Structure 1
Amino acid sequence: MKTFWIYLKSKTFRIKWGIAMDYRVIKENDVFFLTDEKGNIPKSHPYGLGLYTKDTRFLSEFSLRINGEEPVLLSSDAAENYMATILLTNPPIEKEGQTVLWRESVQIERKRFIYNGVLYETIKLNNYFPKPIAFEMSVSFDVDFADMFIVRGFQTGKVGNRTGQTIDGNTLTFHYIGADNIHRATVITWDRPAVSVDDRGEVVFSFSLRHGEEQAVTFMIQPQIGGQTAQKIMIDKDDALRRLKASYHEWHQKITKVTTDYKPLQRLIDRGIADLRVLLTDLGYGPFPVAGLPWFGVPFGRDSLIAALQMLPFYPQVAKGTLITMAQYQGKKLDPWRDEQPGKIMHELRFGELANTNQIPFTPYYGTIDATPLFLVLLTEYVKWTGDYHMVRQLKSHIEAALQWIDKYGDRDGDGFVEYHQESSKGIANQGWKDSGDSIVHRNGEYAKPPIALVEVQGYVYQAKIGLADIFEKLGEPDRASLLRRQAAELKEKFDEAFWMEEVQFYAIALDGKKQQVGTITSNPGHVLFAGMLDTQRQNAVIQMLLSPNMFSGYGIRTMAEGEAGYNPMSYHNGSVWPHDNSIILLGLSKLGKSKEALTIMEGLIEAASHFEYDRLPELFCGYSRSFGKPIPYPVACSPQAWAAGTPLVFIQAMLGLFPNGLRKEIHLSPTLLDSMNVLKVENMAIGNGRLSLTVSREGKEIKVDIHENTTGYDVIV
C-alpha cells in the first residue's frame, strides 16, 4: 500500500491509498465519531479515526474481539447520519487445535449514536448455534488526546501529557493535561459487569448464551474538557435516543417539504436535507453549517456562508444563525499572524490545544478573500427571502466594517479590485475557494504570483454593493445607496476591461501581481452570472464555454477546462467537478432564464449522485468525461459536506425559477421540469411573513403552476 499526498482545503495530508474512504462517521452538534466499517478504531490507524470534539481526539482506539479474534463484517450503515448500525459475526475460533466456536455462530450488532455530548454504543450478541455457547468479548480503549492538526499530519508542536487512567467499578477514565493547562478526560461507562478491567484500557466480558438467546452491553463515552468532575451519565440510552429522534422530527416539521415523481431527485433531496441537518452546529448565536466531515466540522467562512445561501429556500433561520456567528468573529485588528484586518470575515475557527497555545493561527484564521463579500451577499439574499430588516439594523456596524474592509484592506493597491496576499507564516497561499497551492495557474503552466484578484470575488463585491444599495434606500439612506451603486458601476466597467479575454471570448480566472491576466479557462467566471454583472453578449459567451465539452464532463462543469496546461481530472481544483461550484452557476443560469442549460447540469449531477454511497454528492469527484464511465471518486473528499449537500436544494430553486424580493414584496416564478419528471410539489416554504406551497406539473407540453398556500405577504408573479 503506497503513501500519497493529497490536497484538502489548502492543506496537504498524507494518506494510505486504498483506505481513504473506508470509514463510517456520525455526528451531533460538535461531537463526531469516525471509525472503520467494522465500527472499530484500530490502534495507529493511518486515517486518524477517533471520537472528536473541539478539535481533540478523545478516543484513539476502540477495538472489539471475540475470544481474542476480530469479528467478520456482514454489513455497515450510517445512512441516518446520527446513528450507525454495524452487523458482524465471529470467525472460526480454536483453542489448542480444537474448535471452540464455529464460524458465524454469533450475530454481533453494534448500534451507536451521539446525544448531548455523549457517545452511546450498544453491542448485542445473539446465538444462532443450535447449542449453548460461552465466550469472552473484549473491548480495548485508548486515548491520545491528539490535536486534530497533529492527527492529520499538518502540524507538530508542544503538547501536554497523559496523566494516567482511573478505574472505578464500571467506569474507566483517561486523563490529560494539555500544554494549554486545560484538563481533558474521556469517561467510559458500561452497564454490564465486566470480568476484568485493566489500566491499559481493556475491558473483558463473559457471555453464556443458549440457542436463540440475546444479551447486550451498552457503553457511554463522554469527552470532558476543563476539569469537569467525572459523573454518572444521567440520561439513559433509550431516553437519549428518543430525544435525538424527536429533534430530527422537529427539524423536518420546520423546513420546506419537497415531493417529486422522479425518484433519483427525491433521494438526492432527502439526502441533502439529512446531511445538512447533521452538519448544523450552534456556538450560541443560532444554527449554522460546518464545512464537512470528517476534518472540517468547524465554522468555515465561505463554506458556511454558501451552504446557508443554498438553504434559504428550505430554512432561512440557518442563514440568520450563520450571519450572526460570522459577525461575532469578524476581524477587529491588524494581525498578520492570523491574516486579520478590521472588518474581515473569518476563514476557519479551531478550538484545540495547538490553537489555544497560539501554535497555529486558526483562532480564528482570516486568510480568505471571498468570505467578507459573501457575508454581505448572504445578508442581502436573506433580506429578499424574509424581509427581516431588523437583522440589517442589528448587524449595521458589521455591515459597515465589511464594506470598509473591501474598500481599504481588500483593495490593497487601490486599483478597484479586491485581491489577496498571504501574510501569516502558517497561513494559506491561495485564499479563494480554490485554495490548493497549484490552483491559480497561467496557460503556460506557471503559477500566478500574488497579490491575486479573483474573477468571482469581484462579482461577489458587485452583488453585495448592489444588494445593499437597495436595502439602504429602503431604510431611508439614499445617499449611501447612491454611493454603493456608483462604486458597483465603476467596478463593472473596470472588470470588463481587465478580465475579459477577447481571443477566447471568456473571462480570466484572475489578475496576478503584475496585473496580468491568468488566462486559464476555469469555472470561476460562472459565479459572476449570479452576480448580475455581465452584459447579455458576454454572459452568453460565458455560458457557451461552461457547457462546452472541454468544461462540461457530462456529470458537471469541471473546475478547469480539459486541454489547459494545468488540467488534471484527478486533481483537487484543476479539472475535478465540485457540486457547489455548479450550484452557484445554476443560480445564475436560473436568474437569467437559461433553463435549458440549467437542466443539463442538474441531469448530470443527479446521474453522478446515483453512483455514490447513499445517493450523496461528495465534496468533489474526478473530472473524467461521462463517456469514460461512472464518476470516479476523489480519494479523500469530505462526505457529508455542507455545500455539496446544499446543491440539490439549489436544484429546486432553479427549477422553480424562484427569486423573492422582500424590498418589493414579490415572488418571481419561472418554473420548468426535468424531462424525467412530471410533478414537483413544494410545501411550507418560508418567505416573508408566512409560507408558500405550490405544485408544478407537466400537462402535455405545458408547465402548470398551482399555488396552494400563500401567507407570505408577497405577490407571486409567474
Structure 2
Amino acid sequence: MTATTRRPTPADPRPDLSAESRVPSGACRDLPPELGPDAIGVLEGRTFMFSDAAGDVPKGSIAGLVHDDTRFLNQWELTIDDAPLMVLSSGTVDAYSAAFFLANADLPHLPANRVGVRRQRFVGDGLYERVELRYFGTETTSIRLRLAIGTDFADLFEIKESGRDRTPDITRQHGPDGSALGFHYRNGSYVASVHVEADPPADLVDGDALVWDLRLERGQQWTCELSVPLRCGAENTRPSVRGFGEAVDHGPDDPSTRWVTEKPTLHAEAELLREVYHRSAIDLVAMRIEKSIAGEPVVLLSAGLPWFLTTFGRDTLITAYQTMTCGPEVARGALIVLARHQATAFDDFTDQEPGKIFHEYRSGELSQLGVKPYRPYYGGADTTALWLILLSEYWRWTRDDALVLRLRGNAEAALGWIDRHGDRDGDGYVEYATRSTQGLGNQCWRDSPDGVQYADGTIPVLPIATCETQGYTYDAKLRMAELADGPWDDPELAQRLRADAAQLRERFNRDYWIPERGGYYAIGLDGDKRPIDSMTSNMGHLLWSGIVPDDRAGQLARHLMSPEMFSGWGVRTLSTSDVGYNPIGYHVGTVWPHDNSIIAAGLARYGYREEANRIAMAMLEASRHSGYRLPEAFSGYDRSFGRQPVPYPTACNPQAWASGAPLLFLRTMLGLELGEDELHARAHVPDELGRIGLHRVAALGQHWNIDASGSDCRVSLADQAIQTAGAAPVDVTGTG
C-alpha cells in the first residue's frame, strides 16, 4: 500500500507529521526468526530471557537476557565437544521458568544420545540455570562441556534495530579459578555490569567461555549451577525467593503462591474457563512490577513479553481495569505511579504537556542519556482520560476516599490537559500530532503507521481525533462528576463536567456518524476535519464508554457481529470490505483479545448480552490452541479458514491486557456492577459454561461470593448467606 498524505503548502503552517513520516529508520525485527518457531521465553517483572528450543542464545540473534531495557547476555550457548545439543523436549514450566531435555549429537568418539542433558532455568532477580548431565554409555568417556557467553549491553531499541558496537568499551574481570566471569560497561553517567557465577567452577576460562573437562563413567551424574544476578542501581529487582527445586513446586513466599491465595477463587463446571482463568492469573503475576514510590510500596503491570516489559500508560491502565475483580492492588499502583510522572511542563522531544499522563517509560542507556524520548514519553492521546476512568473505577470498588482526595490535583490537571492541550484547535475534541523528531505518528491504541486509515487505504493527515478517545473523554468527565458529587464535595464542578459531557456527546454524534454502509462511526476526524471512513473495531469502545445513543447501538452490534467484522474467533480491527484489510496486518485486520473484551463489555452495557457472549466464547475457545493463553493478537482469517486461529507472527506472548481479557469477559458474563453499599450481578452465562462461582471478590471493603448459571444468580457476603432478591441458589461443582 502506498500512503498518500496532504503535504503542507507555504500557506499551511502545519508540518507533515503523518504516521508514515514517523516510521523509524533502519531494519526492525520483532521476534527472533533465527531461533525457530519453538523459541522459548521466560519472564518476571522487567526481566526476560529468550532462547532457542535447546536453551541457547546464538550470538548475533535478537534473543538474550534483558532487564530494565538493557541486554545483559547476547550469547549463551552450551556444547559438548563443540557440537550443539539435540532437543528431545523443551518448554516453559511457568511464565518465569523453563526446562530443556537434550542429548549429545553424534561425535567421532561418542555415539548420539549417550549423554542426557537437562537444563532448568528461571528468572527473578537475575537468571538462574542448572545443567545436569547423565551418562548412559557402557565405557568410560571424556567430554568437553563448553558454555560460550557474551554480552553487548545493547539498549532494547537497538536489539530490534541496528545499534552501535560497544565492544571497545566493555572490560572484563574473569575469575582465574573459573568461578566467575565479569563484564563492565560505562558511557558517561550510564554504567552497566554483569557477572556469571558457576558452581562448580570451570576447569578453564577460554576467552568468554567456561569449559569443563569431564570424565564420565556409566551411570554417572554431573551438575552445575549458574547464576547471573542483576543488580541495577536504584531500581533493584526484588530478591528471588525461589530455588531450582521450586521451578514446579512454588514456595510459600513465591509471588505466584501469594496470587493464588489472594485472588478470588473460581469454581466452574467448564474446564475451559478454569484453565483460562488459571493461565491468566499466572501470566499476570509474571508481569507484575513491584517498586516503591516515595517510600510507598506499589504493584503494577508491565505490558508484555518480549519488548514491552515496562510501564505503558494505556496498557497498564486498561489491564488494571480488566482485573478489578481480582483486587484493587494493581489499579492503585497504576494510579500512583502514573500520577507521579504526570507532566507539568512543555517539552517537544517527549511530547510533554502539562497535565498529560505518559505513554511509555524506558530505562535503557539511550533513554537515560536523552537519545530516545522515553524517560518517559507522553505520546498517547487517550492515556489521560483512561487514568481518570481508572481512578473512578478504583473508587467505585474500594470507596477509598483518602486516595481519591490525595489524587484530586492530578485529576484536575488531567481534565485541564483534555480541555486545553488535548484539544489542539478548540473544536471540543482531543486530537494528536507529535512534535517530537522521534514521536509516534498515531497516538491511539492503533499506533502502527497504518493503524488509522480511510476506507480506500490512504493515510490521513494529522492531527487526528480518533473516535474512541472522545468516548473515553465523555466517560471520564461523567465519572469525575461522580467524584465531585462524592468525596470531593464540589457540586459546581460536577455540574460543569456533566454539561461538558452532554455537549461532547451531542457534537460527537453529529460529526462522527456516517449514514452510509448501514450507519456507523468514523474512526476519527483528520486534520481537515474530514471523517476517516474506515469501519473498525473502535466502534465497540464507544459502546463501552456510553457515548452512543440507544437507537444507534443496534446498528453497531450488527456491524461488529457481521461476517466482515467478526472472524468467528473475535472482532477484527478492520472490516474485510475496506481496501486496507489484511488479516496479518497489525491493526488492519487482526483480532485483539483486549479489544474484544472492551467490545463485549460495551455490547453488554447496551443489552446485547448474546452478542457479548458470542465474542467471549470465541475468545475462550481460541485460547485452547495456545495453552489457554490469549496472545496479544492473532490473524483475522475467518474461522472456516482452519481449525484453529492463525497466529499473528510477532505477537507479544504473554501480554498483560490480553491476559486480562478473560477476567473482563468473566465480569461481563456475570454482569458485575457496584452499588452504594453492595455488589450487584445480572448474570447471562453461556450455556456452554454451565455453572460458575466466583468467590471472595473484594469490593466495598468486604468479600463477596457470586454463583450463577444462565440468568440465575446469587450474590452473598463471603462470610454470610445473604441472597439477592429473586435469585435462585446455584450448586456449583468443579474447582479451579
- Bigger Cα displacement from structure 2, 341-350 vs 213-222: 213-222
Deviation at 1:693, TM superposition (A): 1.4
Deviation at 1:708, TM superposition (A): 6.2
Deviation at 1:634, TM superposition (A): 1.1
Q: Which residue of 1 aligns with 2:290?
A: 282
Distance 1:468 1:322 in 2: 18
2:494 to 457, 481, 487: 481
Q: Which amino acid in structure 2 is aligned with residue 328 of structure 1?
A: R
Distance 1:384 1:590 in 2: 19
1:76 to 78, 90, 106: 90
Aligned ranges 1:615-626 → 2 under 5 Å? 615-626=628-639
Deviation at 1:167, TM superposition (A): 2.1
Deviation at 1:177, TM superposition (A): 3.0
Distance 1:537 1:168 in 2: 78
1:32 to 41, 44, 48: 48
1:466 to 462, 471, 478: 478
Distance 1:706 1:715 in 2: 6
Deviation at 1:711, TM superposition (A): 7.3
* Residue 390 of structure 1 pairs with residue 402 of structure 2: yes
Q: Which residue of 2 aligns with 1:103?
A: 112
CA contact (8 A) 1:300 1:348 kept: yes
CA contact (8 A) 1:56 1:353 kept: yes
Provide the alpha-carbon RMSD of the alignment. 2.6
Partner of 2:321, secondary structure, is helix
Deviation at 1:243, TM superposition (A): 5.3
Partner of 1:337, secondary structure, is coil
Partner of 1:284, secondary structure, is strand
Distance 1:712 1:356 in 2: 55
Distance 1:371 1:227 in 2: 27
Q: Which amino acid in structure 1 is aligned with residue 115 of structure 2?
A: V
Distance 1:158 1:213 in 2: 42
Q: Which residue of 2 aligns with 1:660?
A: 674
- Gaps spanning 5+ residues in structure 2: where? 1-19, 728-736
Aligned ranges 1:353-392 → 2 under 5 Å? 353-392=365-404
- Give a deviation string over 1:178-206, Cα, whole Å, max 9, x none: 324333211111111322113x2111113
Q: Which residue of 2 aligns with 1:637?
A: 651
Deviation at 1:632, TM superposition (A): 1.1
Deviation at 1:30, TM superposition (A): 2.1
Distance 2:721 2:495 in 1: 30
1:446 to 442, 452, 458: 458
- Give a deviation string over 1:632-674, Cα, whole Å, max 9, x none: 111111001000001111121011011113xx22322111222
CA contact (8 A) 2:178 2:210 kept: no
Deviation at 1:129, TM superposition (A): 2.9
Aligned ranges 1:322-341 → 2 under 5 Å? 322-341=334-353
- Give a deviation string over 1:133-154, Cα, whole Å, max 9, x none: 4322111101111111111107
CA contact (8 A) 2:704 2:715 kept: no
CA contact (8 A) 1:21 1:636 kept: no
Q: Which residue of 2 aligns with 1:513?
A: 527
Distance 1:317 1:59 in 2: 33
Distance 1:350 1:378 in 2: 23
Deviation at 1:18, TM superposition (A): 7.4
CA contact (8 A) 2:93 2:99 kept: no
Distance 2:88 2:582 in 1: 37
Q: Which residue of 1 aligns with 2:123?
A: 114
Distance 2:448 2:193 in 1: 36
1:220 to 219, 227, 241: 227
Q: Which amino acid in structure 2 is aligned with residue 501 of structure 1?
A: I
Distance 1:426 1:326 in 2: 22
Partner of 2:683, secondary structure, is coil
Aligned ranges 1:192-231 → 2 under 5 Å? 192-198=200-206, 200-225=207-232
CA contact (8 A) 2:569 2:622 kept: yes
Aligned ranges 1:561-572 → 2 under 5 Å? 561-572=575-586
Distance 1:717 1:173 in 2: 69
Q: Which residue of 2 aligns with 1:673?
A: 685
- Give a deviation string over 1:355-404, Cα, whole Å, max 9, x none: 11111101100000010000001111111111111111111111111000
Distance 2:381 2:715 in 1: 43
1:301 to 289, 308, 313: 313
- Gaps spanning 5+ residues in structure 1: where? 1-6, 95-99
- Bigger Cα displacement from structure 2, 180-189 vs 302-311: 180-189
Partner of 1:186, secondary structure, is strand
- Give a deviation string over 1:244-283, Cα, whole Å, max 9, x none: 8633211211111212221222211111111111011123
CA contact (8 A) 1:136 1:206 kept: yes
CA contact (8 A) 1:157 1:354 kept: no
CA contact (8 A) 2:703 2:717 kept: no
Q: Which residue of 1 aligns with 2:545?
A: 531
Q: Which residue of 1 aligns with 2:68?
A: 54
CA distance change for structure 1 residues 632 and 234 in 2, over 3 Å: closer, same or farther? closer
TM-score, normalisation: structure 2:
0.90
Partner of 2:315, secondary structure, is helix
Deviation at 1:213, TM superposition (A): 2.9
Deviation at 1:532, TM superposition (A): 1.4
Distance 2:36 2:344 in 1: 39
Distance 1:656 1:203 in 2: 56
Q: Which residue of 1 aligns with 2:13?
A: none
Deviation at 1:50, TM superposition (A): 0.8
Partner of 2:303, secondary structure, is coil
- Give a deviation string over 1:596-616, Cα, whole Å, max 9, x none: 00111012112221122x221
Q: Which residue of 1 aligns with 2:730?
A: none
CA contact (8 A) 1:454 1:510 kept: yes
1:610 to 624, 633, 644: 624
Distance 2:723 2:350 in 1: 44
* Residue 420 of structure 1 pairs with residue 429 of structure 2: no
Q: Which amino acid in structure 1 is aligned with residue 305 of structure 2?
A: L
* Residue 14 of structure 1 pairs with residue 22 of structure 2: no
Distance 1:312 1:588 in 2: 17
1:558 to 572, 579, 582: 572
Distance 1:472 1:461 in 2: 16
CA contact (8 A) 2:241 2:251 kept: no
Deviation at 1:170, TM superposition (A): 3.8
Q: Which amino acid in structure 2 is aligned with residue 24 of structure 1?
A: I
